[in-house]
Amino acid sequence: MIIRNFGVRHGRQVLSAPHSAPSCLRLFSTQTTTTTTTATPVPGNQEAVEQLAALSATDAAREARLAGRRQQQEIAAIPRNFRKFIKYQKETEKLGSEVERRYLPDEIIRNPPHDASLEDLLAAQCHMGHHVSRWNPANSRYIYGERSDIHIISLEQTAAHLRRAARVVEEVAYHGGLILFVGNRKGQMPIVTRMAELAGACHLFQKWTPGCITNKDVLLQGGQLKIVDERDRELEGFEEHLRDCRPVTPDLVVCLNPLENYALLRECALATVPTVGVIDTDADPSWVTYQIPANDDSLRSVALIAGVLGRAGERGQQRRLADAEKGVVKWQTPKDVFSFIGKVNAKIRREAEEKQENMQKETGGLKPADLMTEDEVIAEMFGQGAVPSKY
């Protein structure tokens, strides 16, 4: 044992308990010393044994009394010892060193940053493009140079484009848009699901079924939908509409590997759905609306970029809900939902009128308000079901 470390290693024990000499010795040695006592039979005659037994009977009674007293003392000492223990614990808890873990690979997924600095991007290998022979010349504006036969993507370009894309995601989330995160390479599932969870968005980590946008009426028939209000509470009374309405399309698609999702991006372009994509040096930047030039092969790079976008979506959702609490709603009810609400209102009004006519016929002169409760009068005055709603 190194003596200078003794205080650090055993400081707590030394402070908390005054050791006797043998126990201090025990701290220095690594071998255990156990002494066991065994009962040795006393050789002697019968009388001696009986005398001993009589003696031991009186002793036993005294022992029992003593034991009882000792037990009481022990019980009485418990709170005092406990207070002492807490006191020593408080005194010694600041001793020793704190072990800090500086790098955890999944930290970027569990707690992604709100913005990526150039250092973050470099550490996440965002700058590594593909082999120079695989480049797409359309990406030349993002390329800083070449090294070790690969293209190096400019970190400034990546950072600037990532911020622009994050802003897009945030505003789409703020305006109540439906966002879809797509990443269907091996290992991207935890990234995509976590970021979709953060941004309150949908995710796709398997193959995109071609036609889910352009042929959605056939492929997505019978998919579950719900109508929610501005505070994301589900609204009732739309069962009829939900049965008849068309499947929805996303308002923004974030694609982490555009190369494998040509069909998806093409459909988005046809349906004028804006797209955000991670563009490596071998990808065609014209496939997506908002490019993020970065390495799309490294999971760390993709996790960082998706993390920043997920956080942006989270900010947008938080802002939307906070504004809704204040009564500010920046989005409009979709046309089909709006027309459905109008139809329902007209129907209710018509029914009410019919009812009124019938009652007039029956009562002959009495106004319907005379027959209604106060609540019913208020409902009649302000209309029913004119609550703003959305998917």
Residues that bind other proteins (CB under 8 A): 13, 16-19, 23, 32, 34, 70, 73-74, 77, 81-82, 84-85, 88, 102-105, 117-120, 122-123, 125, 127-131, 133-134, 137, 140-152, 154-157, 159-160, 187, 295, 297-300
- Cα–Cα distance measured from residue 230 to residue 351, given in angstroms and rounded to the nearest whole number: 29
**H or E element, residue 310:** helix 299-326
CA angle 130, 133, 136 (to 5 degrees): 70
CB of 26 to other proteins, least distance (A): 9
- Cα–Cα distance measured from residue 214 to residue 334, given in angstroms and rounded to the nearest whole number: 19
CB of 106 to other proteins, least distance (A): 8
**H or E element, residue 198:** helix 189-199
- Cα–Cα distance measured from residue 391 to residue 227, given in angstroms and rounded to the nearest whole number: 4
Q: Which two tokens stand for residue 280?
A: 């490596």
* CB-nearer residue toward other proteins: 19 or 175: 19
CB of 221 to other proteins, least distance (A): 39
* CB-nearer residue toward other proteins: 76 or 381: 76
CB of 311 to other proteins, least distance (A): 18
Residue 288 is given by DSSP the state: S
* CB-nearer residue toward other proteins: 29 or 46: 29
- Cα–Cα distance measured from residue 196 to residue 301, given in angstroms and rounded to the nearest whole number: 17
3-state secondary structure of 343: helix
- Cα–Cα distance measured from residue 129 to residue 149, given in angstroms and rounded to the nearest whole number: 10
Q: Which residues contact 217 (CB under 8 A, 6 or more apart)?
A: 246, 247
* CB-nearer residue toward other proteins: 88 or 331: 88
CB of 210 to other proteins, least distance (A): 24
CB of 266 to other proteins, least distance (A): 23
Neighbour count for residue 180 (Cβ, 10 Å): 24
* CB-nearer residue toward other proteins: 42 or 76: 76
Q: Which two tokens stand for residue 44?
A: 């002697």
Residue 144 is given by DSSP the state: E
CB of 195 to other proteins, least distance (A): 17
* CB-nearer residue toward other proteins: 250 or 293: 293
Residue 194 Cα to chain centre, angstroms: 6
* CB-nearer residue toward other proteins: 196 or 299: 299
Q: Which residues contact 253 (CB under 8 A, 6 or more apart)?
A: 179, 180, 182, 264, 265, 268, 273, 274, 275, 276
* CB-nearer residue toward other proteins: 150 or 242: 150
CB of 78 to other proteins, least distance (A): 8
